[in-house]
Amino acid sequence: MRPFHYRAPRSLDEALALLTPQAVPLAGGTDLFLKMERRQTQADTVVDLKRIPELGRIEAADGGVRIGALALMDSLGASSLIAGQYEALTRSARVVGSIQTRNRATLGGNLANASPAADTATPLMALGASAEAADATGTRQVPVDQLFLGPGRTALRDGELLTAVLVPALPARAGSAFQRCVRTAMDIALVNCAAFVRLDGDDPDTVAEARIALGAVGPTPLRTASAENCLTGARLDERVVEEAGECAASDAQPIDDVRAGADYRREMVRVLTRRAIWKAFRRARGEA
Ligand SMILES: Cc1cc2nc3c(=O)[nH]c(=O)nc-3n(C[C@H](O)[C@H](O)[C@H](O)COP(=O)(O)OP(=O)(O)OC[C@H]3O[C@@H](n4cnc5c(N)ncnc54)[C@H](O)[C@@H]3O)c2cc1C
């Protein structure tokens, strides 16, 4: 690893002032230090965000929840503001790496690192969440499903920090679920899938709104519009869910790599999408 300068600002303003083009933000370091070791980043200054208290808070906001970018996976997985409501997000935070990883890894780092397999990305996309970005001139919001531009690339601009994730209020008769498959407990996902389902007020078997997101089967986490269209307005039964799984598999763009073949991944998209839809549906009906 090349030598670097270390800065540990105590406020967001101080951190933003330190973010020159030669500087890189540090959260838990579980991705960044690997990149530095492999010389995949040219930064000569590391700006440690961990001493900025407001970035780690998880709090109720506008009927939903505002999660500071520095919130740990462990805190997310244990948060009573999230569990029971945003089940897909709780499940994803609880399966990231090991206990040790979850005690270092942050939500903001998981998103800003922009791995196609990032486990919290798909639940946030399914839940309709937005990322809050700040620079010296102010803040803006980017829907999480527009945040990822490619492997390791996000819509964050130079000098911008991800400060929080805003998850909207969960509507009535809505539920979500997260599914993933891995080779070993410590591996990143071969495929992950998150589903959000909102049911019709008059007919509890009919889907009024659906969002389905897939991970590790494309250059970025992605929404599957055809699976969502297949569900929206439909009375949920085996045939409809089967069809949604097929649609998701055809929207997926998996590749062969050392961890799995494209055909296997596509098949797992079918399976995990079906499971996630049924689980989200049951939660929306209050049965889970
Ligand atoms: C053993 C192990 C197991 C893992 N298992 C999983 C897994 O199961 N699922 C999974 O999804 N990931 C996994 N990961 C990857 C990693 O732990 C997560 O992506 C983690 O959430 C990254 O967060 P971090 O706080 O460590 O980020 P860091 O490593 O500190 O940062 C990651 C990147 O984001 C940038 N960054 C960080 N915070 C901000 C911010 N607020 N604003 C702008 N840019 C920022 C950094 O500059 C860096 O480029 C694993 C990693 C390890 C080492």
User: Is the CB of 216 inside a 6 Å radius of any atom of ligand 1?
Assistant: no
Whole-Å CA distances, 287 to 47, 132, 173, 231, 278? 46, 33, 11, 19, 11
pLDDT digits (tens, 9 = 90+) for 244-285: 999 999 999 999 998 899 999 999 999 999 999 999 999 999
If you measure from the C-alpha of residue 88 to the centroid of ligand 1, how many angstroms do you get, rounded to a whole number? 19
User: Is the CB of 105 inside a 6 Å radius of any atom of ligand 1?
Assistant: yes
Is the predicted pLDDT of residue 70 greater than 70, yes or no? yes
User: Is the CB of 27 inside a 6 Å radius of any atom of ligand 1?
Assistant: yes
Token output for 205: 């078997």
Rounded Cα–Cα distance for residues 124 and 203 (Å): 27
pLDDT value of position 184: 82
User: Is the CB of 104 inside a 6 Å radius of any atom of ligand 1?
Assistant: yes
Is the predicted pLDDT of residue 130 greater than 70, yes or no? yes
Give the three-state DSSP class for 55: helix
pLDDT digits (tens, 9 = 90+) for 166-189: 999 999 999 999 999 998 878 899
For atom 53 of ligand 1, which residue has the closest CA?
Answer: 30
pLDDT digits (tens, 9 = 90+) for 136-155: 999 999 999 999 999 999 99
Is the predicted pLDDT of residue 106 greater than 70, yes or no? yes
If you measure from the C-alpha of residue 30 to the centroid of ligand 1, how many angstroms do you get, rounded to a whole number? 5
Per the DSSP assignment, residues forming a β-bridge with 140 are 133
For atom 31 of ligand 1, which residue has the closest CA?
Answer: 109
CB 89 within 8 Å of CB 120: yes
pLDDT value of position 139: 97
Distance in angstroms between the alpha carbons of the first and the last residue of the chain: 48
If you measure from the C-alpha of residue 113 to the centroid of ligand 1, how many angstroms do you get, rounded to a whole number? 6
Rounded Cα–Cα distance for residues 26 and 252 (Å): 32
Q: Which stretches within 103-161 are classed as H helix? A: 107-112, 121-126
pLDDT digits (tens, 9 = 90+) for 30-55: 999 999 999 988 899 999 999 999 99
Is the predicted pLDDT of residue 158 greater than 80, yes or no? yes
pLDDT digits (tens, 9 = 90+) for 196-227: 999 998 899 999 999 999 999 999 999 999 99
pLDDT value of position 109: 98
User: Which domains does the chain show, CATH number per domain?
Assistant: 5-47 (no CATH), 174-284 (3.30.390.50)
Identify each DSSP E strand in 151-278 by its residue range: 153-154, 161-167, 174-181, 191-199, 207-215, 222-223
Q: Which stretches within the chain are classed as H helix? A: 12-18, 32-37, 73-78, 87-95, 99-102, 107-112, 121-126, 225-231, 238-251, 262-284
Token output for 226: 């055809």
User: Is the CB of 160 inside a 6 Å radius of any atom of ligand 1?
Assistant: no
For residues 63-90, average pLDDT: 97
User: How would residue 288 be classed by pLDDT, with cut points 50, 70 and 90?
Assistant: low
